[in-house]
Amino acid sequence: MIKNTLINCGGRLLDLSSPKVMGIMNLTPDSFYAGSRIQTEKEAIIRAENILNEGGTIIDLGAYSSRPGAEHISFDEEFARLRQAMEAVCRHFPQTFISIDTFRAEIVRRLYDEFGAFIVNDISAGEFDHEMIPEVARLKLPYIAMHMRGTPQTMQLYTEYGNIGDELTQYFVTKVEALRKAGIIDLIIDPGFGFAKTIENNYQLLAQLADLRLAGCPILVGMSRKSMFYKPLETTADKVLAATIAANTIALQNGADILRVHDVKEATQTIAVWRWSQDCKKEPRLQEPRMQESGLQEPRIRTATQAGLII
């Protein structure tokens, strides 16, 4: 099936003909990786600037922790966290692509009414709130549908699969057909590494990721610093950047279009090196690869040093 690589976000086109980086902004106090936690408006602005300067294309705002066993929070608390960060990002970086990590349709409705179009990143693929799919279709928003079973509180009870690659391929082929019938045009799929999956499941899925291309949608992968690395390596989330880079390289080889990460600069470099290697398959004499040739964006926000304010 031919994959649509142009995502329409309120009239602006996100071009996924080459892989892009989505930078994570966690607005939760209990995110599994402490280095990603953002609590204030000032921290949100600094984090957004860093994501863009390091080559990120999308800023993903999340205010509901979905780590295994995470505490459930109210609508009001989630909305308040998201609204503060989105207002700051939209005010300082108005042309940035933003994704909102939520499963609540009312969150989408209210943020859209105030700030306009964004990408909806739904860990439940519409299963937690049955108003979500009709609302996304009505607003004509891009939609990321992720695979999981159960809830963040129960998902690790549902990790039995036959062939995980086959099961998720069938799941997404069926899900994408249903979402298109519901009126959602711009779709991205996320296999949900770590969501209702054992460590072994995650590696089986990574090895079979290319099978998901049968769904005909861009593929997002979110493996950054997860327990699939730090548990078998017997370390902690802050010490598995190299493992994340290795896994993201495999994901790119197997068809990933978006890398959702905490460490944007490293992911940008990973994509650049991968692209240069792909280009050399087509043109063995490729010389002196440059950032613009990788399909990635140059930093769009000048730092104080770049502006000549610091010597």
pLDDT recorded at residue 65: 77
DSSP of 2-29: PPP-EEEETTEEEE-SS-EEEEEEE--T
**How would you classify the pairing of strands 6-9 and 12-15?**
antiparallel
Q: How many domains does the chain have?
A: 1
Q: Is residue 175 part of a domain?
A: yes
pLDDT of residue 294: 53
Give me the residues paired with residue 134 across strands.
none
Report the predicted TM-score, pTM, of the whole model to 2 decimal places.
0.89
CATH code at 225?
A: 3.20.20.20
Give residue 34's pLDDT: 58
1 within some domain = no
Containing structural domain, residue 97: 12-294
Whether residue 3 contacts residue 46, with contact meaning beta carbons closer than 8 Å, is answered with no
Query: Is residue 7 in some structural domain?
Result: no
**Is the residue at 302 inside a domain?**
no
pLDDT of residue 57: 98
Q: Is residue 69 part of a domain?
A: yes
CA–CA dist 231, 38 (Å, integer): 25
Other C-beta atoms lying within 10 Å of the C-beta of residue 214: 13
Enumerate residues 6+ apart whose C-beta is below 8 A from 259. Answer: 19, 20, 21, 22, 220, 221, 224, 248, 251, 252, 267, 270, 271
pLDDT digits (tens, 9 = 90+) for 78-136: 999 999 999 999 999 999 999 999 999 999 999 999 999 999 999 999 999 999 999 99
Helix (H, G, I), strand (E, B) or coil at 236: coil
At residue 307, the pLDDT reads 39
Whole-number pLDDT of residue 9: 98
Residues with pLDDT less than 50, the chain: 302-311
Q: Which residues are catalytic?
A: 226, 260
40 inside domain: yes
Q: Find out whether 220 and 21 touch, Cβ atoms under 8 Å.
A: no
Within a domain: 304:
no
Whether 187 maps to a domain, the answer reads yes
For residue range 9-41, list pLDDT tens digits in order: 999 999 999 999 999 999 987 655 556 678 789
